[in-house]
Amino acid sequence: MVSSETTLFDLSVYDGSGKLIMVAGVKGHPFNKGDLVHLRKMLNRFHEPVPFAMLVNADSIRIFRWDGRKISKPLCVLPTQQVVKYYSPSYDREQLSEFFLVTSIESWLRDLNSHWKSESPPYAECLKEIGLLPLMEGGFTEREVIETPTY
C-alpha cells in the first residue's frame, strides 16, 4: 500500500514546551535557486509560522528566518564539514551519504539542545546571535516532518 503522507523536512527542532521552532532539509546536491522556492512552499504548509529553517548540503549549513510570508537571506552560513567532523572524526567527504549527513546534523542539533557531548557545540555562538540557540535550550529534535493530507 502506498502512503499518502508527504515528508516535508528531514529534521525538526522544538523548544522546551514542544513548539516547533525550526525545520531542516538535508540535500546531497549543491544548492540552487529552486531550493529556496521549495523551502518557502513547504513552510507555507504550516498553520503557524515556523521561525527558522535550515538547508544543509555537503558544503554548507544555511539558516534562515521565516515570518510566515518572507524568508530572510541566510542568517548564518556554516561549514558542514566542521560540524560533521566534530561528531564523526572519521568523516570522509567522498563517502558522504544523505543519511549520514542527516544523522550528523541531528547529533549536532541534539547537542545544542541538551549538551550531551559538549557545553559549547560547534557554532553555538552564531546560533545564539541570531536568537535560535535560546529557543533550543531544553528542547528536542525529531526526524522527518510529515504531512498527512486531509480529505
Q: What is residue 7's predicted lDDT score, i.e. its pLDDT? A: 61
Q: What is the mean pLDDT of residues 73-101?
A: 88
Q: What is the mean pLDDT of residues 22-49?
A: 89
Half-sphere exposure of 5 (CA within 13 A, CB side): 10
Q: What is the mean pLDDT of residues 14-39?
A: 91
Domain boundaries, the chain: 6-147
Q: What is residue 3's predicted lDDT score, i.e. its pLDDT? A: 39
Residues 6+ apart with CB under 8 A from 63: 22, 52, 53, 54, 74, 75, 76, 78, 127, 130, 132
